[in-house]
């Protein structure tokens, strides 16, 4: 039997949550690393700021100054924690990595803060991870049985333990040993006393790119983190590839057999920033193409096209350009409530929506509108948006969703609710339309989605992307699913 420790958070105290059963074992995150720069930690802070949309709960940076590793890990936004000169000054050194984590349910608990650090016999190792391992619980049980002491519930810690227990002499070999034992999705940046390391899982599910600025290499989850500092995009890290950056330059190692990449399609639909280029495709371009496909598949006569800001804007522009129906900012977003403001309970969420969006009555009144949103998860937000449009005088509300129906949970780092809470998993189209209160409702089709990605069609035998949330076609084994059960194994806040 394994007991659990709950460490309660408090102002000016540390707090860890060892709750194995918690609903936040999985998270979407962002990572960044740089090697050889005199202001390494300042660069990492800027990179993390550009990746802030990937995680608002907490941020952390570890640097190495030639003899000592320095670490700062804090709750809240990068700008709040890492904008003062003192903090950056403490993070000495010419190499550093950083991490941002997803927002939790409002608590101040520092769960599984990253980057994690361990002293191995071969030297220090700091690791930051975006993704989710699907056999971490199994490995963790074995480790505990074998006398390991685990300090977090993070699947990332498993990587440290596996590297620590490897019998290989060199730290890179130990790291590869660890990667070969794990299953799931991961984009990792790691720092040793000599090297900056990047690694992407065998299918390349989560993104990771290589950049360069004045001859120094850096790694980032998205290209927007290169743009903020004016760095040059070099290339995507490949699936199953490790890159090792050191004073000797850059080295590439394959730790997994070469198979076609199968990146997560949800990065394009919702998660990545529109100005990022993910796996060679502009996110903004894909979203506009989705809008055009959606217009072709589900045209409607209307006066204006209105996006649900901000993630619905590009698809709405594509819809408008394809149909010629004028694009109008019919919903105004309050800038002082960001994505951060995700609330734990359904009831608080209702208040949240009213605080976040408001109808631009002057643009809407008396109009028949096409409302475009990026995705539909539980549907509770959509209900309120449609109602708000009607209260502002909309004559008709036609809802268009810029993705296919979500019918399966994610296990690779995106929090999704349990299956029974996914509206599309339990309702047919007409039932969803009624629930939402729209005059019409349409989703993008799977073929339409692949067309928007520039593919002729989905390759059923070997899909070009992992689209498991829409198809249930999971690309990796799900070892822990039998240990933890689906409820504990997957859940997340609505993607609004």
Catalytic residues: 29
Q: Which is nearer to its own copies, 338 or 437 (CB)?
A: 338
- Is residue 336 involved in binding its own copies (CB under 8 A)? yes
Cα 370 from chain centroid? 28
- Give the Cβ contact number of residue 253 at 10 Å: 15
Q: Residue 185 in 3-state DSSP? A: strand
Binding piece for its own copies, criterion CB under 8 A, among 128-136, 220-228, 437-445, 484-492? 220-228
Do 469 and 416 contact (CB within 8 A), yes or no? Answer: yes
Q: Least distance to its own copies from the beta carbon of 330, Å?
A: 9
Q: Least distance to its own copies from the beta carbon of 306, Å?
A: 12
Do 322 and 292 contact (CB within 8 A), yes or no? Answer: yes
Instruction: Enumerate residues 379-418 that contact its own copies by CB under 8 A.
Output: 391
Do 93 and 40 contact (CB within 8 A), yes or no? Answer: yes
Among 34, 136, 189, 317, binds its own copies (CB under 8 A): 317
Instruction: Enumerate residues 123-152 that contact its own copies by CB under 8 A.
Output: 123-124, 126, 144-145, 147-151
Q: Which is nearer to its own copies, 84 or 428 (CB)?
A: 84
**Distance from C-alpha of 405 to C-alpha of 134, rounded to nearest angstrom:** 24
Residue of 123, 102, 93, 112 whose CA lies nearest to 155: 112
Annotated binding residue 311:
yes
Report residue 324 as tokens.
């010629």
Among 26, 37, 53, 384, binds its own copies (CB under 8 A): 53
Return the H-helix or E-strand segment holding 304: strand 304-307
- Is residue 272 involved in binding its own copies (CB under 8 A)? no
Among 180, 252, 310, 457, binds its own copies (CB under 8 A): 310
**146: exposed, middle or buried (C-beta count within 10 Å: 0-12, 13-18, 19+)?**
exposed
Q: Which is nearer to its own copies, 42 or 422 (CB)?
A: 42
Among 31, 34, 46, 423, binds its own copies (CB under 8 A): 46
- Is residue 347 involved in binding its own copies (CB under 8 A)? no
Q: Which is nearer to its own copies, 138 or 360 (CB)?
A: 360
Instruction: Enumerate residues 363-382 that contact its own copies by CB under 8 A.
Output: 363
- Is residue 321 involved in binding its own copies (CB under 8 A)? yes
**Distance from C-alpha of 253 to C-alpha of 438, rounded to nearest angstrom:** 52
- Is residue 232 involved in binding its own copies (CB under 8 A)? no
- Is residue 461 involved in binding its own copies (CB under 8 A)? no
Interface mask toward its own copies for 183-202; x: CB under 8 A: ----------x---------
**Distance from C-alpha of 404 to C-alpha of 481, rounded to nearest angstrom:** 25
- Is residue 318 involved in binding its own copies (CB under 8 A)? no
Task: Give 460's Cβ-side CA count (13 Å radius).
Answer: 1
Cα 472 from chain centroid? 19
Task: Give 124's Cβ-side CA count (13 Å radius).
Answer: 19
Annotated binding residue 177:
no
- Dihedral in degrees, nearest 10, Cα atoms 465, 181, 409, 225: -60
Q: Which is nearer to its own copies, 329 or 481 (CB)?
A: 329
Annotated binding residue 21:
no
Among 22, 36, 39, 70, binds its own copies (CB under 8 A): 70
Among 259, 362, 429, 431, binds its own copies (CB under 8 A): 362
Q: How far is CA 133 from CA 30, 127, 209, in A?
A: 16, 14, 20
Q: Which residues are annotated as a binding site?
A: 311, 373-374
């Amino acid at each position: 039997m394994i007991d659990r420790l709950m460490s309660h958070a408090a102002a000016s105290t540390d707090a860890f949550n060892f709750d194995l059963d918690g609903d936040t074992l999985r998270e979407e995150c962002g990572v960044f690393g740089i090697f050889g720069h005199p202001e390494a930690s300042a660069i990492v802070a800027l990179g993390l700021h550009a990746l802030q949309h990937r995680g608002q709960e907490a941020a952390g940076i570890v640097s190495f100054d030639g003899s000592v590793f320095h670490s700062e890990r804090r709750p809240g936004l990068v700008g709040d924690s890492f904008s003062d000169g003192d903090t950056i000054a403490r993070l000495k050194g010419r190499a550093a990595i950083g991490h941002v984590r997803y927002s939790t349910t409002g608590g101040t608990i520092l769960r599984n803060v990253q980057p994690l650090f361990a002293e191995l016999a071969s030297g220090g190792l700091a690791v930051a991870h975006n993704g989710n391992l699907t056999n971490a619980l199994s490995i963790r049980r074995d480790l505990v049985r074998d006398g390991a002491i685990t300090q977090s519930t993070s699947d990332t810690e498993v990587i440290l333990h596996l590297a620590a227990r490897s019998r290989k002499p060199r730290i890179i070999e130990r790291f590869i040993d660890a990667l070969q034992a794990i299953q799931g999705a991961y984009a990792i940046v790691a720092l040793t006393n000599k090297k900056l390391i990047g690694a992407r899982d065998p299918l390349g599910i989560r993104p990771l790119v290589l950049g360069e600025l004045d001859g120094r290499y850096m790694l980032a989850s998205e290209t927007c983190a290169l743009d903020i500092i004016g760095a040059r995009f070099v290339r995507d890290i490949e699936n199953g590839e490790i890159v090792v950056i050191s004073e000797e330059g850059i080295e590439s190692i394959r730790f997994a057999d070469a198979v076609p990449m199968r990146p997560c399609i949800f990065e394009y639909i919702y998660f990545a920033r529109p100005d990022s280029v993910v796996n060679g495709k502009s996110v903004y371009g894909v979203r506009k193409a989705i809008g055009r496909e959606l217009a072709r598949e589900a045209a409607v006569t209307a006066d204006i096209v209105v996006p649900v800001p901000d993630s619905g804007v590009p698809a709405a522009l594509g819809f408008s350009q394809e149909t010629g129906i004028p694009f109008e900012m019919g919903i105004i977003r309050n800038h002082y409530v960001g994505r951060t403001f995700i609330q734990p309970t359904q009831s608080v969420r209702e208040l949240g929506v009213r605080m976040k969006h408001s109808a631009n009555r002057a643009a809407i009144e008396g109009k028949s509108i096409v409302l475009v949103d990026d995705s539909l998860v539980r549907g509770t937000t959509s209900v309120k948006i449609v109602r708000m449009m009607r209260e502002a005088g909309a004559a008709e509300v036609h809802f268009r969703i810029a993705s296919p129906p979500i019918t399966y949970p994610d296990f690779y780092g995106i929090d999704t609710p349990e299956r029974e809470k996914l509206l599309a998993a339990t309702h047919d189209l007409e039932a969803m339309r009624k629930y939402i209160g729209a005059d019409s409702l349409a989703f993008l089709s799977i073929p339409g989605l692949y067309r928007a990605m520039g593919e002729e069609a989905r390759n059923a035998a070997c899909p070009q992307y992992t689209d498991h949330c829409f198809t249930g076609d999971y690309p990796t084994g799900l070892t822990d699913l039998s240990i933890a059960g689906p409820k504990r194994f997957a859940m997340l806040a609505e993607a609004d």
